Structure 1
Amino acid sequence: MDALRFVLAAAVAFGHAWALLVEDYRATGNPAVNTLYFAAGFAHASVILFFVLSGYWITRSVAGRVRSGWSWRGYLVDRLSRLMVVLVPALALGGMLDAVALYLIGSPTHLGETNTFVLNTDVGANLAPENLLGNLVFLQEIFVRPYGSNGPLWSLAYEFWYYIWFPALLLSWRLRRPSLALVALLLAVQAPALAFGFLSWLCGSLLYFTEARLTRSSLVARLRGKLPLATTGLAFGAVLLWGRTGSFSIEDPLLALSFSLVLLTLLLTNPPLVPGIQRCAAYGAGASFSLYAIHFPLMAFAAALLIGGQRMAPGVAAISLVALTLAASIAIAWLFARATEARTATLRRTFRRLLRRAR
């Protein structure tokens, strides 16, 4: 799962680098170029798969806390320390890069003049203080615009509210009385897309409870031979490719469900590790969040430096530039994570100490 976090973050970053630097698709006779155009379209699907992984691990954490004695205070300290240690520096870095690109370079990319669908407005309007404040309290794309160019942070806001919704629903069901936190569900009225995304996130919850039930029964031994990875992988691949053929109202939850089936197969069969996967897993565990949080302002800034008002025609030069930008973003995100994600435990202890003093 850690290796998948890296692969998914890199897929999102590649799609955005391609859209920022390379012209929109037009038919070509080059199979390699056509393949890269096709691959660049999986950014949104990768976010949905992130939701499944998040749903699994958060559900696992919530279920354990419910068994040992639930505390909203402890849960929120852990979740907020994990998010804020990356979010605050990411917003600061992104705002600084956007300001330099706009006011010192006069970047056509940041002025919305390159006509790329991932950044087609004047970023300056998004650098308003109210957007910064709204992003800090996870309301981007619910009540406010993303801060600066960092549009991908919409999914972080969604994730935060899923962190609240799920335990509120679970506790209300377990205790047979409504939790006050259910009030947060009213956000779904303002943002129906937030509620729709919760269906995909809940596929991770379903995965956790299914795994827990199966491992406690005698079905596991029989299912190990009945759910080969090739079968579930092919089903997932078919749904993934089908989703690229158009825009369908049910593609996201279907994709999440098929991905959950692949993960269930992996959890039940525990196949041998692929050689070299440990390095991907190390990056996924330690820096995939940072890569997701900062890649877009980094890549938009690279576009400000490397191209003018016209994105590049697909070819060797454009592909090389995309690869270089992606590699640089991955490397910078690793360094960024050393100063942020690696300090999560320290921030968590600080939050707890402050709460004890306040009490």
Structure 2
Amino acid sequence: MTLKPALSAYLDFMRFIAAFAVLLGHMDQDGLAMAWMPLSWFSHEAVIIFFVLSGFIIYYSTTSRASSWQQYAVARMSRIYSVALPAVLACVVLALWLSHQPGFDPARYSNYSPPAVWDTFSSLLFINESWLNATFVPLNDPYWSLCYEVWYYVIFGAFLFGGKRRRWWLVGAAALIAGPAILVLLPIWLLGAWLAASGRYASGWTAGRAWLGFLGPVALIVLINTTDVDGLIQSYLYENVSGFWRLDASQRFVTDHLIGLALCLHIAAYSSLPAAVQDFFARHQGVFASLAGFSFTLYLFHRPMTQLLGAWYPQPVGAIWQTALLALGILLACWAVSWGTEKQLSHWRCGFSRVLTPRSGVLS
């Protein structure tokens, strides 16, 4: 099924808004008082948006374009490493530079950790969240969710291209390496893939049903966030389930799965909204594509910036104009960085293609 321009534009809009929410949330955490903007409250929920969108888009693009595991690997590796490799190296260099500054106090930076060879190596293999590895990218805690996504790509690719005899062996091996914390949120990614596979994002709903399906999930997510029910459930399980702490970033899995289901309903309902709504996104498809076009760089490069600014130029509550300008500055900085990362994607594709598919085409 073809992805209509209006839906494609809306998915791009969701991807940018999710990345922006993460930026605002981390600004607030790092001493740049941003709680005046309600979107900053939803940085965790934004990661669940990434997982659902990732499952949806990866399934759609892979089944419509990739015909071999080599093409799939080229597409995924070039997309990931075009941003992840520069981000990891930049954070290592920045952490080394900071550590040699006079009067350096690591306590001023919430995500600081001394650079280490194993941490860097495991980060580039995306095993930071696997079992009890507990390795970190200095100054860049958001990297954890990328480690989750990469193993979802590996598991999905193993299933799709592994062949009848080897498929489940490969899936099992990938799952074993990924570990429980990553696997417990895999169903959320698969929900997005299921939605793309089912084709249930097409139009055909009545107007009332469409608006209910579109706005109801938003209301549910706001309710979960503002009532802190996710934190209450997490605390209960932490205190009553032995070893629950091992799930690390997945400890809110109960409400995270509920949010994932809600987001699938939200996306499914979009194509049945009134034409005026869809026409708006279709007309501005280029704008939303441009915003989404640097969202990956925004996600992986913003946290070092918020920590430096928060440590050096903290902003008090009520400094609305100052924090708004800082947010705009970080957006522009990440957009500029993206010209050296994800906007160089074609070069990364060519490089990986020469290694993996020397005689075949490159997946676009």
Q: Assess same fold via TM > 0.5.
A: yes
Deviation at 1:107, TM superposition (A): 4.9
Counterpart Cα distance in 1 of 2:79 and 2:168: 24
Maintained 8 Å contact 1:130/1:144: no
Deviation at 1:187, TM superposition (A): 3.0
Residues 243-290 of structure 1 deviation map (CA, whole Å, 9 limit, x = unaligned): 212224421111111111111122355622159854651333320000
Counterpart Cα distance in 2 of 1:166 and 1:274: 30
State how many pairs are aligned.
Answer: 321
Residue 6 in 1 paired to residue 16 in 2?
yes
**3-state secondary structure, aligned to 1:60:** helix
Deviation at 1:158, TM superposition (A): 0.6
Identify which of 192, 204, 227 aligns with 2:192: 204
Deviation at 1:53, TM superposition (A): 0.7
Note closer, same or farther for the CA distance 1:200–1:355 as it changes in structure 2 (3 Å cut).
closer
Aligned to 1:61: 61
Counterpart Cα distance in 2 of 1:64 and 1:54: 15
**3-state secondary structure, aligned to 2:290:** helix
Counterpart Cα distance in 1 of 2:134 and 2:359: 31
Note closer, same or farther for the CA distance 1:113–1:352 as it changes in structure 2 (3 Å cut).
closer
Identify which of 235, 242, 245 aligns with 2:223: 242
Residues 215-268 of structure 1 deviation map (CA, whole Å, 9 limit, x = unaligned): 5xxxx54x254632x312331122211221222442111111111111112235
Aligned to 1:302: 309
Counterpart Cα distance in 2 of 1:106 and 1:322: 26
Aligned to 2:213: 232
Maintained 8 Å contact 2:213/2:265: yes
Residues 143-185 of structure 1 deviation map (CA, whole Å, 9 limit, x = unaligned): 242210111011111110000112333457x847634421101
Note closer, same or farther for the CA distance 1:232–1:94 as it changes in structure 2 (3 Å cut).
same
Aligned to 2:242: none
Note closer, same or farther for the CA distance 1:264–1:106 as it changes in structure 2 (3 Å cut).
farther
Residue 350 in 1 paired to residue 351 in 2?
yes
Note closer, same or farther for the CA distance 1:95–1:59 as it changes in structure 2 (3 Å cut).
same
Note closer, same or farther for the CA distance 1:151–1:276 as it changes in structure 2 (3 Å cut).
farther
Aligned to 2:26: 16
Aligned 1:1-359 pairs, distance under 5 A:
1-22=11-32, 35-36=36-37, 39-64=39-64, 69=67, 71-104=68-101, 106-108=103-105, 111-113=106-108, 119=110, 123-125=112-114, 127-142=115-130, 143-170=133-160, 175=164, 178-182=167-171, 183-188=173-178, 190=179, 192-211=180-199, 220-221=203-204, 223-225=205-207, 227-228=209-210, 230-244=211-225, 245-246=227-228, 247=231, 248=233, 249-269=253-273, 271-274=278-281, 277-278=284-285, 280-307=287-314, 312-316=315-319, 319-355=320-356
Once structures 1 and 2 are overlaid, which stretch shifts more, 150-159 or 174-183?
Answer: 174-183
**3-state secondary structure, aligned to 2:220:** helix
Counterpart Cα distance in 1 of 2:287 and 2:117: 37
Maintained 8 Å contact 1:153/1:293: yes
TM-score (norm 2): 0.79
Deviation at 1:22, TM superposition (A): 4.5
Maintained 8 Å contact 1:98/1:301: no
**3-state secondary structure, aligned to 2:137:** coil
Note closer, same or farther for the CA distance 1:282–1:321 as it changes in structure 2 (3 Å cut).
same
Tell me which amino acid in the other structure corresponds to 1:48.
I
Tell me which amino acid in the other structure corresponds to 2:291.
G
**3-state secondary structure, aligned to 1:104:** coil
Aligned-residue identity in percent:
28
Maintained 8 Å contact 2:28/2:35: no
Displaced runs of 4+ in structure 1, greater than 6 A? Answer: none
Once structures 1 and 2 are overlaid, which stretch shifts more, 176-185 or 248-257?
Answer: 176-185
**3-state secondary structure, aligned to 2:184:** helix
Counterpart Cα distance in 1 of 2:160 and 2:358: 30
Aligned to 1:29: none
**3-state secondary structure, aligned to 1:21:** coil
Note closer, same or farther for the CA distance 1:50–1:280 as it changes in structure 2 (3 Å cut).
farther
Once structures 1 and 2 are overlaid, which stretch shifts more, 265-274 or 333-342?
Answer: 265-274
Tell me which amino acid in the other structure corresponds to 1:178.
R
